[in-house]
A and B are shown apart, each in its own frame.
Chain A
Amino acid sequence: MQAFWRDTVEFFPILMSGVALTVIVTIGSLLLSTVLGLIWALMRVSGIGVLTGFSGGLINVIRGIPIIVLLFYLYFVMPEFGVTLSALQAAILGLGIAYSAYQAENFRAGIEAIDKGQIEAAQAIGMSWWQTMRRVVLPQAVKIVLPPYGNVMIMMLKDSSQASTITVAELALQGKLIASSTFKNTSVFTLVALMYLTMSIPLILLVRHFEKRAGQK
């Protein structure tokens, strides 16, 4: 136990630099996946055949490719087409795209859960499709969408560790590097696990809060 505390004091600063990158990757890809997911979802419910079909197909393609392959593709293959991304950019882009499919399905479910009468009432006072979405449908859909959105945040935090496969020195990779140079596997990976858990707990509490609010109506 004493050894563990000693190791903690020693490795904590290095691991914290990994945490910083983990947070950056998580927040970056969360924002990107939210924006993309919202675009896919709005295309899906637009009622315009081409857009609906395009976003439906795209979502299926994204869903069918493992995140790690998507990351490899962006980081190792894209340079061959003249698009060179830094590891961090590729990680945020890859995770953002991968998660946009799940975000889109979540948003679509929320939008479709809104009573048709709401849309008719908005149309009846002359609102455009976009006004109807922005003023009437989306504000009500948010409540429905938030609990699953919170779960996506937790999954995203943990999946950000996949960025380690394309050399982003986030928490998991920092841990691996320290472990392989010191052979203190137990201390290091226990610390890494605890740090992920510590970051997840606030998110778990947030999800619980969202669920309570959604339940209240």
Chain B
Amino acid sequence: MIELSNVHKSFGKVEVLKGITASVEKGEVVCIIGPSGSGKSTILRCINGLESYDSGDILVEGARVDRNAPSIVSVRTQVSMVFQRFNLFPHRTALENVIEGPVYVKKEPRVEALERGRALLARVGLAEKADVHPPQLSGGQQQRVAIARALAMQPKAILFDEPTSALDPELVGDVLSVMRKLADDGMTMVVVTHEMAFAKDVADRVLFIDGGVIVEQGPAKSVLNQPQHARTQDFLRRVLHPL
């Protein structure tokens, strides 16, 4: 449902994506791992048009992603995004954050959106926080609201950009377990993460990216347990055994 072929992207003179070709099937959970600055987040940001790309093709359900075309709205309503720093709207309550897209972009009737919004907050374990503003929530709670906000768009896929990197370690588990439930329910997910345990457990496939290219990819267990490429082995050794 998401296809990238030979995608290139430069920021000024620095080429961050050097020909990325990959695809994500419906219902699949793909984790993207790799060192900082390797281009992982840029891939996600290109998929929903937050970033433009210089050449190559990105297709979502067969439609080409072009950040400057009107069709980008339809891509974005089909592919939601969850950010590292949550990016909830601080001037709106948790519930208002969740219904913002359905009501103002998809023009759903407010009553229905509210009902569904409450159900989604319950699904991420925050039913009682519906009327609280984000600054009064913990990081983990904010990220779960952000996931509910992404789900409210009834997307075909969700992109997660390091969803637990900005969280206190003790709050990571709550967010990951919500994500695991989503995966179990069959949601298509692309997750940029440093949580190797999550990748091993939940991902169908893992892409290891370094220097703007896909160095290695395959079933999660084989890439993470028996990496073939020296750079993958080196990266995993450093992440799993930092001392």
Total A-B pairs, Cβ < 8 A? 55
B76 in contact (CB, < 8 A): yes
**Shortest Cβ distance from B153 into A: residue:** A125
Contact status B73-A128, CB under 8 Å: yes
User: Which residues 13-66 of B have a CB within 8 angstroms of A?
Assistant: 48-50
Given contacts A117-B85, A117-B87, whether A124 and B100 have CB atoms under 8 Å apart is no
B91 in contact (CB, < 8 A): yes
Which single member of B48, B106, B135 contacts A124 (CB below 8 Å)?
B48
Contact status B101-A125, CB under 8 Å: yes
Contact status B104-A131, CB under 8 Å: yes
Bound Cα distance A139, B88 (Å): 14
Least CB distance from A48 to B in Å reads 12
Bound Cα distance A120, B76 (Å): 11
B90 in contact (CB, < 8 A): yes
Interface residues on B, range: 20 to 34
Contacts of B91 in A (CB 8 A): 139-140
Interface residues on A, range: 10 to 19
Contact status A126-B88, CB under 8 Å: no
User: Which residues 128-144 of A have a CB within 8 angstroms of B?
Assistant: 128, 131, 135-136, 139-140
**Shortest Cβ distance from A140 into B: residue:** B91
Annotate B131-148 by CB proximity to A: 1 below 8 A, 0 otherwise. Answer: 000010000000000000
Residue of A118, A125, A131 ringed by the most chain B CB atoms within 10 A: A125
Bound Cα distance A126, B70 (Å): 10
B149 in contact (CB, < 8 A): yes
Contact status A124-B73, CB under 8 Å: no
User: Which residues 102-148 of A have a CB within 8 angstroms of B?
Assistant: 115, 117-118, 120-128, 131, 135-136, 139-140
B232 in contact (CB, < 8 A): no
Contacts of A131 in B (CB 8 A): 104-105
Given contacts A117-B83, A131-B104, whether A124 and B90 have CB atoms under 8 Å apart is no
B80 in contact (CB, < 8 A): yes
Bound Cα distance A70, B184 (Å): 68
Annotate B89-121 by CB proximity to A: 1 below 8 A, 0 otherwise. Answer: 111000000001100111000000000000000
Contacts of A115 in B (CB 8 A): 87
**Shortest Cβ distance from B106 into A: residue:** A126
Which single member of A118, A124, A127, A140 contacts B50 (CB below 8 Å)?
A124
Closest 7 CB pairs of A and B: A125-B101, A121-B87, A117-B87, A124-B81, A126-B76, A126-B105, A126-B73
Which B residues are within 8 Å of any A CB, using their own CB? Answer: 48-50, 73-74, 76-77, 80-81, 83, 85, 87-91, 100-101, 104-106, 135, 149, 153
Could you pull out 17 A-B pairs where Cβ atoms are within 8 angstroms?
Answer: A117-B83, A120-B50, A120-B83, A120-B87, A121-B81, A121-B83, A121-B88, A123-B49, A124-B76, A124-B81, A126-B77, A127-B104, A127-B105, A128-B73, A135-B100, A136-B89, A140-B89
